[in-house]
Chain A
Amino acid sequence: MRHTVSVLVANEAGVLARIASLFSRRGFNIDSLSVSKTERDDISRITLVVEGDNKVLEQLTKQLNKLIVVHKTSNLTNDPIVGRDLALIKVTSTQNTRSEIMQIVDIFRGKIVDVASNSIMVEVTGDEDKINAIEKLLEPFGIKELVRTGKVAMVRGQK
């Protein structure tokens, strides 16, 4: 099962290394990890998507909490959350295919952020499924390059 875990950490040097080292030595598999600033200068938020059963997740959460730099770990998997991923996709295009690509991007409420003679760069935001779907639709045109941020998530309403 896939879990979304939000980790609030001290914003200081070496924090990511501590967390990465914990995952590798305890054998946890990470699907994605994103780190960013928060509303507080001294705290960063790490959003993790990890694969594993509940027992694995419990150990992971407890081990994370043992790190002095970790302030709080929350498993958001069963919470009402808004989860978003951002992707930049460079698609091969010709004069014949360009408008078709633009139509697909439009349906997915993506944006064309760069156009070159033989490619288009698309920016698309959404949950994982949406990005997977557009990726699949664009594949036949030829994807030259793709980059994704990994999931960021926030619980809805007050918490």
Chain B
Amino acid sequence: MAILSGAEIFVESLYCEDVEVVFGYPGGAVLPIYDILYDAEFEHIMPHHEQGGIHAADGYARSTGKVGVCIATSGPGGTNLVTGLATAYMDSVPVIAFTGQVPRAMLGTDAFQEADITGITTPITKHNYLVQDVKDLPRIIKEAFHIAKTGRPGPVLIDIPKDVLTDKTEFSYPKEVNLPGYKPNYDGHPCQIKEAARDINNAKKPLIYAGGGVIISGASNELRQLAKGATIPVTTTLTGLGSFDERDELGLGMLGMHGTTEANLAISNADLIIAIGARFDDRVTGKLEKFAPNAKVIHIDIDPAEVGKRVNVDVPIVGDVKRILVKLNKVVEKNNREAWLNQIKEWKLLDSKQEESREDKKLSAKPIIEEIFNLTNGEALITTEVGQHQMWAAQFYKYTKPRSFMTSGGLGTMGYGFPASIGVQVGNKDSAVFALAGDGSFQMNIQEFATIAKNKIPVNIVILNNQYLGMVRQWQEMFYDKRYSSTCLRKREECPPDCSSPSSNCPEMIPDFVKVAEGYGIKAVRVTEVEEVRPALEEAINSSEPFLIDCIIEEEENVFPMVPPGGSLDKMILKGDQS
């Protein structure tokens, strides 16, 4: 057996795990790793902030289903990963973060760039490790990959003191893991599956509520089989978008606060909810007491702690979504449920009724997002930041396949989407990748311009620029008497303090995104008219380099439908209700 240093073991272990790419930022405590990485055979991409690195690893993981790997140094390097870890934890994304740490003898002494990163990240990782002995390193890396990608996936952090990286030991990579405290249940109880099938067969108005777990489990085909076979309409959560082809007549799109009318009405009127890989998040349920008031609930999830956490469940099935659906599909009977389907069709018309074309010809989000769908035949991989543009991206693009929409659902992390798109593009070299952003969120990780420019990562950035922190502004408009406190991004010292609407006197927004992009050597155009959208998008798609389109859209457009916070899903505010 070879005698290797901790840093060499790190790299060899990543080879054993078939890691293709690592997103890492160097620093003092990880110098031994970077010395070995100099000759490593996998791709290494340096972000320009550790947060960018971990979001890129997250985007890579969500879009490929593989484990995303990132590296940061000790202290601030590690603390800069915190938002990324919490983001990955909330949405169950398999990411492994390696952090450097001060040498063992200095632990606990408040040494330079020391932070207790395992202590800090305990609540936002699936598990974490502080490596105390180089002999433990291969086992810990093996366990970390196993924990990150099995069961309900999640981020794992491994903190390695610098002297562990230089210590040497005999290296052999373990074949098995031995984790007596970690035994996810995959199969689902056969009696529960039988009971679920009985309920489905008896239901008159069943509805599937599919979450990100369907995508993680790779169960889209099985979901489709269940829905089509027994004629059950499907609504998806934000992270579940793409698990079911929205073009299908059974597809209802997203549910919840900004869900479609038909999805929310279907939930409110259903007699059976089949929740699959979803967790009844408050943005989905609205007022809990009014959520699906007439329905029995079947809940399929791999995490027992999610079952019964927020909603009382009649038939809990703990296990892997795919395995359970395979079994369920064998016992669920065919059914055409004509009356229910007709009702759904009627509800679908309600949403299309509220669509109107803008009279003032001002650009809005819808035609831009729809054009992206049209020009890419729905094959684009979309990432978003958080806010209005995120909801529009969820509403106006028709998701047809899993792993095509990467967004921070649970944590709601502004600054996620642009760096995530780097990981998505690296993991899907031939795909058209679109980073949809708001003008506010985009500035949260704008430094990653440098990463895409230097590495020629051809992501297409589309900023839906309304010069506001739009979602917060929308809430201020609706619930805070239009007091636009700190949400106007054009506001300067000379502006009137009580300004509550944009006008032609408003100052220019800072920054000019086109000029910023050009400063990084990235091609960029500004779009202000509907007619300019298609040519700009075509140019972006045809270009093999990164490209930015700054779309100046209507400032005060709101996201509808909207269920007010704490309201029940059947009481939506629709577009027409605004005035």
Interface residues, chain A, CB within 8 Å of chain B?
9-10, 13-14, 17-18, 21-22, 25, 55, 58-59, 62-63, 65-71
Complex contact B309–A59 (CB within 8 A)? yes
Complex contact B147–A63 (CB within 8 A)? no
Q: How far is the CA of A10 from the CA of B179 in the complex (A)?
A: 10
Interface residues, chain B, CB within 8 Å of chain A?
118-119, 122-123, 126-127, 130, 132, 147, 179-182, 303-305, 308-309
Q: How far is the CA of A65 from the CA of B130 in the complex (A)?
A: 21
Q: How far is the CA of A58 from the CA of B126 in the complex (A)?
A: 20
Complex contact B179–A68 (CB within 8 A)? yes
Q: How far is the CA of A19 from the CA of B305 in the complex (A)?
A: 16
Which 5 pairs of residues, A with B, have the shortest CB-CB distance?
A: A62-B305, A71-B181, A68-B127, A68-B182, A21-B122
Given A62-B304, A68-B147: A10 touches B181 (CB 8 Å cut-off)? yes
Q: How far is the CA of A67 from the CA of B118 in the complex (A)?
A: 14
Complex contact B309–A69 (CB within 8 A)? no
Expressed in whole angstroms, the minimum distance between the Cβ of B282 and any Cβ of chain A is 16
Complex contact B303–A17 (CB within 8 A)? no
Complex contact B181–A67 (CB within 8 A)? yes
Complex contact A17–B122 (CB within 8 A)? yes
For the A-B complex with A10-B181, A14-B119, A65-B305 known, give 12 more contacts whose Cβ atoms are closer than 8 Å.
A9-B181, A17-B122, A21-B122, A22-B123, A25-B123, A62-B305, A63-B305, A66-B303, A67-B127, A67-B181, A68-B127, A68-B182
Expressed in whole angstroms, the minimum distance between the Cβ of B96 and any Cβ of chain A is 14
Q: Which of A17, A58, A59, A69 contacts B181 (CB under 8 A)?
A: A69
Complex contact A65–B119 (CB within 8 A)? no
Q: Which of B122, B130, B303, B309 contacts A18 (CB under 8 A)?
A: B122
Task: Output the nearest chain B residue to A22 by Cβ-Cβ distance.
Answer: B123
Query: In the complex, what residues of B have CB within 8 A of residue A70's CB?
Result: 181
Q: How far is the CA of A159 from the CA of B129 in the complex (A)?
A: 33
Query: In the complex, what residues of B have CB within 8 A of residue A69's CB?
Result: 181
Expressed in whole angstroms, the minimum distance between the Cβ of B151 and any Cβ of chain A is 9
Complex contact B122–A59 (CB within 8 A)? no
Q: Which of A10, A17, A25, A66 contacts B305 (CB under 8 A)?
A: A66
Task: Output the nearest chain B residue to A26 by Cβ-Cβ distance.
Answer: B123
Q: How far is the CA of A14 from the CA of B305 in the complex (A)?
A: 23
Q: How far is the CA of A71 from the CA of B178 in the complex (A)?
A: 12
Q: Which of A10, A14, A25 contacts B118 (CB under 8 A)?
A: A14
Q: How far is the CA of A53 from the CA of B132 in the complex (A)?
A: 40
Expressed in whole angstroms, the minimum distance between the Cβ of B485 and any Cβ of chain A is 30
Query: In the complex, what residues of B have CB within 8 A of residue A18's CB?
Result: 122
Q: Which of A22, A25, A71 contacts B180 (CB under 8 A)?
A: A71
Complex contact A65–B147 (CB within 8 A)? no
What are 22 A-B interface contacts by the 8 Å CB criterion? A9-B181, A10-B181, A14-B122, A14-B130, A17-B119, A17-B122, A21-B122, A21-B123, A25-B123, A55-B308, A58-B308, A62-B304, A62-B305, A65-B305, A67-B127, A68-B126, A68-B127, A68-B147, A68-B182, A69-B181, A70-B181, A71-B180
Expressed in whole angstroms, the minimum distance between the Cβ of B177 and any Cβ of chain A is 11
Q: How far is the CA of A22 from the CA of B130 in the complex (A)?
A: 19
Expressed in whole angstroms, the minimum distance between the Cβ of B67 and any Cβ of chain A is 16
Q: How far is the CA of A58 from the CA of B313 in the complex (A)?
A: 13
Task: Output the nearest chain B residue to A24 by Cβ-Cβ distance.
Answer: B123
Query: In the complex, what residues of A have CB within 8 A of residue B119's CB?
Result: 14, 17
Query: In the complex, what residues of A have CB within 8 A of residue B179's CB?
Result: 68
Query: In the complex, what residues of A have CB within 8 A of residue B147's CB?
Result: 68
Expressed in whole angstroms, the minimum distance between the Cβ of B140 and any Cβ of chain A is 12
